[in-house]
Amino acid sequence: MTVICAFGMQWGDEGKGRIVDLLAANTGVVVRFQGGANAGHTVLVGDEKYVLHMLPSGVIQSSTVNVVAGGVVIDPWVLMDEVDDLARRGISLDDRLKVSDRAHVVLPYHRLMDQAMEKLRGAAAIGTTSRGIGPTYGDKTTRDGLRVADLLALRDSRDSRPSRDRLLGNVVARNEILERAGLDTLDPQTVLEDAQEVAERIRPYVTDTTEWLLDAWEAGRDILLEGAQGHGLDLDHGTYPFVTSSNTGPSAVGSGTGLPPKAIDHVLGIVKAYTTRVGAGPFPTRDEEAAGRYLADKGREFGATTGRPRQCGWFDGVLARRAVRSQGVDAVALLKLDVLSGLEQLQLGTAYELDGCRIDAPPALADDWARCRPVYSAYDGWAAEIGDVRRFEDLPAEARTYVRALQDVLGVPIEIISVGAERACVIETARGVPVSA
Ligand code: IMP
């Protein structure tokens, strides 16, 4: 029995979907524990491309049961459209999907509120995905939210009053803010009826996932916990306020699933061989010159959820090392090493310089973080394409040197190296990259 938590250590888009799909081949249960439809996890199998926003990336492996746990904010329309889309493509989730009755629900006013709040922030806008994530977590925290159990209760004439009244009251209150932001308002009755309708679609999958997961864990089943976004976007550890509204790593597993924190046996941190970011906020190792454009182009760096171009730059060792240490990372999966082929020289950020002082940890203020200048170590690049390489020792010497340097900066073994988007394009190094090879 093993419980693995795989999570992103940068600003999202590390390739979590690809790694979770890979690991899910040997795992019975795959769980999303935070975030929502702001995630865009891509899985490529042959010619088939799956972009998943709400469903765990384990769904493509037919042997898995997939759980959307209580820490996720669920957009029921997106979720059910994904379920229907997979069914059309021959992937049935009938007995393989469990949706938490405790998870909070993203309703139409949350998406509009996301837009309104961004508009009202003006120049300080976060650049959210407009998926209603912040407003839904906000309602959860102020105790105005509706959970999946509330959604199912909307039709029930005996028990539905509190859920229904809260929904209708929320629409009226949010309309005032929407109006102030110059956005369309919503008709409370229409919101209610749409919610009642989608509730019937989601109902067959809803259960007490905490109880289900506790039973699975106690029965010794293998469980894979799939993080969304990344450590730089973590509500507490990231570049606040330019962050998402949840904790993105293993520290969120206890509250997000109902499993005890000690259930996690192995923490796998996921990084790209370089760094990208979408939305506003600090990015010290960003490269706006030719190298950044090369990475964007070759890495096809466009957001899977919004289609926005991602800013690109060099590997940020300060951010990744902090994630390793504070989230208890045991090993790392390194993705998109193949994208670096063809660059003459690589830079690796090992520290920051702020106001003339060298610092090894991120500062608290986003404004200071944005003023940090990276301290780089330079490495020779390599010309050869490496998509067909399956053993570490067959990589070009320069690639081996660069990966070893990354491992040194991270301080934990790099166990998986991805050299292409396809399932097979992987180098596995059971105990990490050898120090000399
Ligand atoms: P929100 O999560 O939609 O509120 O967006 C807050 C910030 O997180 C914005 O900068 C988004 O671009 C970023 N973000 C949210 N989800 C993802 C993701 O899955 N990948 C990359 N960036 C994300």
Where residue 137 sits, what CATH number does that domain have?
Answer: 1.10.300.10
433 located within any domain? no
Which pLDDT value is given to residue 205? 98
263 lies in the same domain as 276: no
Element (H, E) at 334: strand 331-335
Q: 71, 47, 46: which is closest to 56 by C-alpha?
A: 71
229 Cβ below 6 A of ligand 1: yes
Which pLDDT value is given to residue 393? 95
**pLDDT at 175 exceeding the cut of 80:** yes
436 located within any domain? no
Which pLDDT value is given to residue 69? 98
157 lies in the same domain as 209: no
Final residue of a domain: which of 177, 202, 227? 202
140 lies in the same domain as 94: no
**pLDDT at 389 exceeding the cut of 60:** yes
Which pLDDT value is given to residue 414? 97
Region 384-409: mean pLDDT is: 97
Mean residue pLDDT across the chain: 95
What percent of the chain stands above pLDDT 70?
99
**pLDDT at 75 exceeding the cut of 90:** yes
Residues 315, 276 contacting (CB under 8 angstroms): no
53 part of the active site: no
Which pLDDT value is given to residue 434? 82
- Rounded CA-CA distance 105/77 in Å is 10
Closest ligand 1 atom number to CA of residue 228: 19
Q: Which pLDDT band, with edges at 50, 70 and 90, does 436 fall under?
A: low
Which pLDDT value is given to residue 26? 85
298 lies in the same domain as 155: no
Say how many domains are in the chain.
3
**pLDDT at 437 exceeding the cut of 80:** no
304 Cβ below 6 A of ligand 1: no
Domain that holds residue 313: 271-428
Q: 386, 391, 396, 397: which is closest to 420 by C-alpha?
A: 386
319 located within any domain? yes
175 lies in the same domain as 95: no
93 lies in the same domain as 237: yes
124 lies in the same domain as 89: no
Q: In 10-126, which ranges are continuous DSSP H helix?
A: 16-24, 76-88, 108-121
135 lies in the same domain as 193: yes
Which pLDDT value is given to residue 13? 94
In tens, the pLDDT along 287-296 reads: 999 999 999 9
321 lies in the same domain as 424: yes
- The pTM assigned to this predicted structure is 0.96
10 Cβ below 6 A of ligand 1: no
53 Cβ below 6 A of ligand 1: no
In tens, the pLDDT along 208-255 reads: 999 999 999 999 999 999 999 999 999 999 999 999 999 999 999 999
Final residue of a domain: which of 249, 268, 287? 268
In tens, the pLDDT along 253-292 reads: 999 999 999 999 999 999 999 999 999 999 999 999 999 9
In tens, the pLDDT along 360-372 reads: 999 999 999 999 9
- Rounded CA-CA distance 210/220 in Å is 15
Contacts of 145 (CB under 8 A, 6+ apart): 104, 105, 136, 139
Q: How far, in Å, from the CA of 302 to the mean position of ligand 1?
A: 13
CATH of the domain at 82: 3.40.440.10
Q: Which pLDDT band, with edges at 50, 70 and 90, does 305 fall under?
A: confident
175 lies in the same domain as 302: no
**pLDDT at 138 exceeding the cut of 80:** yes
434 located within any domain? no
CATH of the domain at 324: 3.90.170.10
74 lies in the same domain as 118: no
Q: How far, in Å, from the CA of 433 to the mean position of ligand 1?
A: 31
Q: How far, in Å, from the CA of 318 to the mean position of ligand 1?
A: 20
Final residue of a domain: which of 268, 301, 323? 268
Rounded to 10 deg, the angle between the 108-121 and 133-142 helix axes is 100
71 lies in the same domain as 167: no
